[in-house]
């Protein structure tokens, strides 16, 4: 008889103890399951605990429904797959906008727990946010003393359990009972704020590292954001970096790590979509842009700065205008010429975002700038032909860039040629001239007019036109419209030898068919 579908068999870890094998009844409240786990290890105050995945994600288990978060309603309506965009690649910018902003983020919850999942008992996100401790630092101490007091067979001393960070003290902890939670309303998580704003570089670095890790979880992120944590981080980026400008020469590695962890925490917190992007100051934008514009910048700082700029542009029209004033295409191009594919990917993502949000009249100007900067050649040399495989995100960003540039050709593709427009007819004459310039023109006598018409008809046939008498009519059908004529002229001017050879080959095939018809 198969086991009930609501029963899930899992392993649960706790620092300093052997993992427990348990059957979780998904019908029970999560708090009841946590209490059962705590009772098994004689841990009181189960409300101070939570369960989280033991893998690298460290996501907390919650009662929340739904497994995927979308940054906006538009993305949900259009779908997140590339196939949808391929079908609409020339039907407007809205689909591209949603696809760029659509960054699904998986939110682990109890309904997604499968048989064999490894979980970890840890500090609840509320408790962690308000005390600034990470993953049962204090609680491990309480647990080890509980086991020693009860003479458990596998009891360990504090030195064998998880060690407290240097300088951290544990006070007033009763055996087996975790320290009482700080009063949220009264204390407002002062410990976490004090750690992040500590005058000690080592303590500050450790706190920011913990924050960068914890911020990946949406439950913790919500608690930290409620403490005005985003404002604290932006203030640190705006002014805190200058505080250590004089120390950079002697403490550069520490400074770089601090800034990297600060930006990482910021990116992770904002990625949950809880806080609006419209709330950030010009000073913050300028500071982030300066990290991108510097010729030599730590890779992790550069990557996170590019990610922040991309999100700013995609999520706020006002921020797009401010970012566009600070960042130019020319300043982004050098990042594509490096060897780090992640930096290249985020650079193209920023270019795509700027391209997408630009006004209509600005997009063509940007396309011309990209052509002048030889973006295509740079991407071909340093990305596509680099000695490494292209990852999925890079392939996606290249695809988006290609569609964005193709969309600029839509107007030309849907424009019919005017057979009476002499300037447009001159382009067709130029195509013939380039291909058959070596052939002598008949003299301008009255008897040679028919010969000239006959020769032109023959030449247009060699060039592949359907209407040999009036080739302008070939471009009155849309698509491809005038775009086809533009492409032919570009090919004739920039690849003249290949163009002439193609005309010769077509001419020989025409002659062969004529001979076959005579036979």
Residue 400 inside a domain? The answer is: yes
Work out whether strand 118-123 and strand 7-13 pair parallel, antiparallel, or are unpaired: parallel
| Amino acid 474: pLDDT | 93
> Is residue 108 a contact partner of residue 53, using CB atoms and an 8 Å limit?
yes
Residues contacting 259, CB < 8 A, separation 6+: 237, 241, 298, 301
Span of 52-56, 71-75, 230-234, 381-385 with lowest mean pLDDT:
71-75
Q: Return d(Cα 482, Cα 417) in angstroms, integer.
A: 6
122: CATH: 3.10.20.90
Q: Is the pLDDT of residue 324 over 90?
A: yes
Residue 332 inside a domain? The answer is: yes
Neighbours of 10 (CB within 10 A): 20
Q: Return d(Cα 465, Cα 20) in angstroms, integer.
A: 78
List the domain range (segments joined by +) for residue 319: 296-305+312-414
Reported confidence tier of residue 428, pLDDT bands at 50, 70, 90: very high
> Is residue 270 a contact partner of residue 101, using CB atoms and an 8 Å limit?
no
Residue 224 inside a domain? The answer is: yes
Q: Are residues 395 and 331 in the same domain?
A: yes
Share of the chain above pLDDT 70, in %: 69
Q: Does residue 242 or residue 135 have the better pLDDT?
A: 242
List pLDDT tens digits, range 486-500: 999 999 999 999 998
Residue 160 inside a domain? The answer is: no
Q: Return d(Cα 271, Cα 266) in angstroms, integer.
A: 8
Q: Are residues 323 and 269 in the same domain?
A: no
Q: Is the pLDDT of residue 439 over 70?
A: no
Q: Say which residue the tokens 């009772």 belong to.
A: 39
Reported confidence tier of residue 264, pLDDT bands at 50, 70, 90: very high
Q: Are residues 408 and 426 in the same domain?
A: no
Mean pLDDT, residues 419-437: 90
Average pLDDT, the chain: 76
Q: Are residues 239 and 194 in the same domain?
A: yes
> Is residue 180 a contact partner of residue 44, using CB atoms and an 8 Å limit?
no
Reported confidence tier of residue 96, pLDDT bands at 50, 70, 90: low
- The structural domain count of the chain equals 4
Q: Are residues 429 and 476 in the same domain?
A: yes
Q: Is the pLDDT of residue 148 over 70?
A: no
> Is residue 122 a contact partner of residue 43, using CB atoms and an 8 Å limit?
no
Q: Are residues 391 and 426 in the same domain?
A: no
Residue 286 inside a domain? The answer is: no
Give backbone dihedrals phi and psi of 222, rounded to 5 degrees, phi first.
-60, -40
Share of the chain above pLDDT 90, in %: 35
| Amino acid 257: pLDDT | 86
Residues contacting 405, CB < 8 A, separation 6+: 367, 370
Q: Which residues pair with 12 in a beta bridge?
A: 20, 119
Q: Is the pLDDT of residue 233 over 70?
A: yes
| Amino acid 260: pLDDT | 92
Give backbone dihedrals phi and psi of 43, rounded to 5 degrees, phi first.
-105, 125
CA dihedral 229, 234, 237, 242 (to 10 degrees): -100
Q: Is the pLDDT of residue 516 over 90?
A: no
Work out whether strand 68-69 and strand 20-25 pair parallel, antiparallel, or are unpaired: unpaired
List pLDDT tens digits, range 356-389: 999 988 888 888 888 888 888 999 999 999 988 9
| Amino acid 357: pLDDT | 92
Q: Are residues 125 and 1 in the same domain?
A: yes
Q: What is the DSSP letter of 384?
A: I
Give the Å distances, CA to CA, from 400 to 82, 159, 345, 395, 467: 9, 54, 12, 9, 37
Span of 52-66, 390-404, 448-462, 464-478 with lowest mean pLDDT:
52-66
Q: Return d(Cα 12, Cα 497) in angstroms, integer.
A: 71
3-state DSSP assignment of residue 206: helix
Q: Are residues 271 and 366 in the same domain?
A: no
List pLDDT tens digits, range 462-481: 888 999 889 999 999 999 99
Q: What is the DSSP letter of 60?
A: B
Q: Which residues pair with 53 in a beta bridge?
A: 119
Give the best-scoring range by mean pLDDT among 151-155, 195-199, 429-433: 429-433
Residue 340 inside a domain? The answer is: yes
pTM over 0.75: no
HSE of 151 in the Cβ direction (CA atoms, 13 Å)? 0
Q: Return d(Cα 115, Cα 2) in angstroms, integer.
A: 13
Query: In the β-sheet with 7-13, what is the strand arrangement from edge to edge?
Result: 20-25, 7-13, 118-123, 49-53
| Amino acid 78: pLDDT | 38
Q: Return d(Cα 95, Cα 295) in angstroms, integer.
A: 35
| Amino acid 130: pLDDT | 55
Residue 284 inside a domain? The answer is: no
| H, E, C per residue of 245-261 | HHHHHHHHHHHHHHHHH
Q: Are residues 10 and 123 in the same domain?
A: yes
List pLDDT tens digits, range 104-143: 444 447 888 888 899 999 877 666 655 555 444 444 434 4
Q: Are residues 342 and 433 in the same domain?
A: no
Residue 497 inside a domain? The answer is: yes
List pLDDT tens digits, range 3-56: 677 898 999 998 888 888 999 988 889 889 999 999 988 888 888 888 888 876
Q: Is the pLDDT of residue 175 over 70?
A: no
Q: Are residues 123 and 1 in the same domain?
A: yes
Residues contacting 519, CB < 8 A, separation 6+: none
| Amino acid 65: pLDDT | 43
Q: Are residues 405 and 431 in the same domain?
A: no
Q: Which residues pair with 49 in a beta bridge?
A: 123
């Amino acid at each position: 008889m198969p086991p009930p579908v609501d029963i899930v068999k899992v392993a649960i870890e706790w620092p300093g103890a052997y993992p427990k094998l348990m059957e979780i009844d998904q019908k029970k409240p999560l708090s009841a399951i946590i209490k059962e786990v705590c009772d098994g290890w004689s841990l009181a105050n189960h409300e101070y605990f939570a369960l989280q995945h033991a893998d690298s994600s460290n996501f907390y288990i919650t009662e929340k429904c739904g497994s995927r978060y979308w940054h906006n309603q538009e993305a949900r309506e259009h779908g997140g797959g590339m196939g949808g965009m391929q079908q609409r690649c020339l039907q407007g910018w809205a689909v591209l906008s949603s696809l760029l902003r659509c960054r699904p983020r998986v939110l682990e919850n109890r309904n997604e727990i499968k048989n064999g999942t490894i979980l970890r008992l840890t500090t609840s996100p509320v408790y962690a946010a308000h005390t600034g401790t990470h993953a049962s630092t204090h609680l491990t101490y309480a647990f080890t003393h509980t086991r020693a007091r009860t003479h458990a067979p596998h009891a360990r001393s504090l030195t064998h359990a998880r060690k407290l960070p240097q300088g951290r003290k544990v006070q007033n902890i009763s055996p087996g009972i975790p320290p009482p939670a700080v009063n949220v309303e009264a204390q407002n998580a002062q410990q976490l704020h004090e750690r992040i704003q500590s005058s000690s570089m080592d303590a500050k670095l450790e706190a920011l590292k913990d924050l960068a890790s914890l911020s990946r979880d949406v439950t913790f992120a919500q608690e930290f954001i409620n403490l005005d944590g985003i404002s604290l981080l932006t203030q640190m980026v705006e002014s805190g970096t200058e505080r250590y400008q004089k120390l950079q020469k002697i403490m550069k590695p520490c400074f770089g790590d601090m800034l990297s962890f600060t930006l990482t925490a910021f990116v992770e917190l904002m990625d949950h979509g809880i806080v609006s992007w419209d709330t950030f100051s010009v000073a913050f934008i300028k500071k982030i842009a300066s990290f991108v514009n510097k010729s030599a910048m730590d890779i992790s700082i550069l990557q996170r700065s590019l990610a922040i700029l991309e999100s700013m542009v995609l999520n706020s029209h006002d921020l797009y205008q401010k970012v566009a004033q600070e960042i130019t295409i020319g300043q982004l191009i050098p990042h594509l010429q490096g060897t780090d594919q992640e930096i290249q990917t985020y650079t193209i993502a920023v270019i795509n975002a700027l391209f997408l949000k630009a006004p209509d009249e600005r997009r063509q100007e940007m396309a011309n700038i990209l052509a002048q900067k030889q973006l295509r050649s740079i991407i071909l040399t340093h990305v596509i032909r680099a000695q490494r495989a292209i990852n999925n995100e890079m392939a996606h960003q290249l695809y988006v860039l290609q569609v964005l540039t193709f969309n600029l050709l839509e107007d030309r593709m849907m424009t019919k040629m005017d057979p009476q427009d002499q300037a447009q007819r001159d382009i067709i004459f130029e195509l013939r001239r380039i291909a058959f310039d070596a052939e002598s023109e008949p003299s301008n006598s009255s008897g040679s007019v028919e010969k000239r018409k006959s020769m032109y008809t023959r030449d247009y046939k060699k060039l592949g036109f359907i209407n040999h008498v009036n080739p302008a009519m070939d471009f009155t059908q849309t698509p491809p419209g005038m775009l086809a004529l533009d492409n032919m002229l570009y090919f004739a001017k920039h690849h003249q030898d290949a163009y002439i050879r193609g005309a010769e080959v077509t001419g020989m095939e025409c002659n062969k068919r004529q001979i076959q018809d005579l036979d």
